[in-house]
Amino acid sequence: MQRLIDRLDPAGPPAVVSLPGSPEPEGDIIIFSGSFNPPTQAHIAMLKQARLLSSKRPLHIYAAMNKQTTDKETVDRPILLDRLMLLRTVLRRRLPHAGMLLFNRGLYVEQAEAVRQHFHKVRRLFFLMGFDKIVQIFDPRYYHDRDAALRDLFRLAELVVAPRGEANSNDLSQLIHKPENEPFARYIHALPLSSRYRDISSTQIRQGDREALQHVPQEVRHFIATTRVYAPPLRLRDGTELDSYAQRIRLLQRELQQRL
């Protein structure tokens, strides 16, 4: 896994690799790209629901991460290798048919370009996301030329949007049918999702909200407890502090250097 991470250059052209054990993307595929920090029950529910979108032919689903995450560059715990391994463990037990991809870039248009360049058997490409992300995609602050960038994106892919928080299908409809967004409305599809998943937040879990831990799979709870990845350093009797996750990373990096 670390070799695959090292192969991808965030400064290079858009690129993607399929992670070990994942089926090669072909046909109609849907990609859920995110930081998965950590994976939650909402992530799993969205992937399961997305698989039901197509009744005409199979829709293959993939969870994806990237080495360059837009607006989340400062989130560095756990490291990418840990996040990938943890997500793979969760998917193998709960969605064994799902694949995993790793991109070198964080923008959807760059990821779409990478898929089209590397997986020529893919016919129709969808990106799965929450309502907050589609709001960001239409926000002109992220672009020099918004409409040109959106045309590039929708030439390559379509979007599937799940409700988040108080947002519902009506909010999505109002957003995509605004005059400035109407030309792109046909490329965006609503994903029904139970209201019990809409308020689950990875951010709350990273911030130590103990009640939020009920919304992550058991494997994730075990990882958080044993690595203390989101916990403050332990204060020892002599007054010094021990950051157990930082220590884990030092040991892991030493082991990887020896193996690689």
Could you tell me if 116 and 122 are in contact, meaning their C-beta atoms sit under 8 angstroms apart?
Answer: yes
104 is written with which tokens? 């070198």
Identify the bridge partners of residue 29 per DSSP, sorted by sequence position.
Answer: 60, 125
d(CA 243, CA 78): 13
Domains, the chain, in order of start with CATH, read 2-234 (3.40.50.620)
d(CA 59, CA 82): 28
d(CA 240, CA 96): 44
165 vs 41, more confident: 41
Which helix or strand (DSSP H or E) is residue 111 part of?
helix 108-118
Confidence check: pLDDT of 73 > 60: no
pLDDT tens-digit series, residues 4-56: 999 999 999 999 999 999 999 999 999 999 999 999 999 999 999 998 876 56
Could you tell me if 191 and 13 are in contact, meaning their C-beta atoms sit under 8 angstroms apart?
Answer: no
3-state class of 228 per DSSP?
coil
Confidence check: pLDDT of 69 > 70: no
Residue position matching structure tokens 């040109």: 148
Confidence check: pLDDT of 79 > 90: yes
Burial class, 189, CB count within 10 angstroms (exposed 0-12 / middle 13-18 / buried 19+): middle
- Residue 171 has a CB neighbour count (10 Å cut-off) of 17
Could you tell me if 66 and 104 are in contact, meaning their C-beta atoms sit under 8 angstroms apart?
Answer: yes
d(CA 106, CA 31): 13
3-state class of 130 per DSSP?
strand
d(CA 122, CA 157): 11
User: Residue 200 has what pLDDT?
Assistant: 92
Average pLDDT taken over every residue of the chain = 92
- Nearest Cα to 103, choosing from 129, 146, 156, 67? 67
Residue 133: which residues within 8 A CB-CB, separation 6 or more? 161
**Axis-axis angle for helices 218-227, 80-94 (nearest 10):** 150
Could you tell me if 103 and 16 are in contact, meaning their C-beta atoms sit under 8 angstroms apart?
Answer: yes
d(CA 220, CA 208): 14
Confidence check: pLDDT of 174 > 50: yes
Task: Enter the DSSP assignment of 232.
Answer: P
- Cis bond leading into 38, ω under 30°? yes
Could you tell me if 29 and 62 are in contact, meaning their C-beta atoms sit under 8 angstroms apart?
Answer: yes
Which helix or strand (DSSP H or E) is residue 205 part of?
helix 202-206
pLDDT tens-digit series, residues 199-258: 899 999 999 888 999 999 999 999 999 999 999 999 999 989 999 999 999 999 999 999
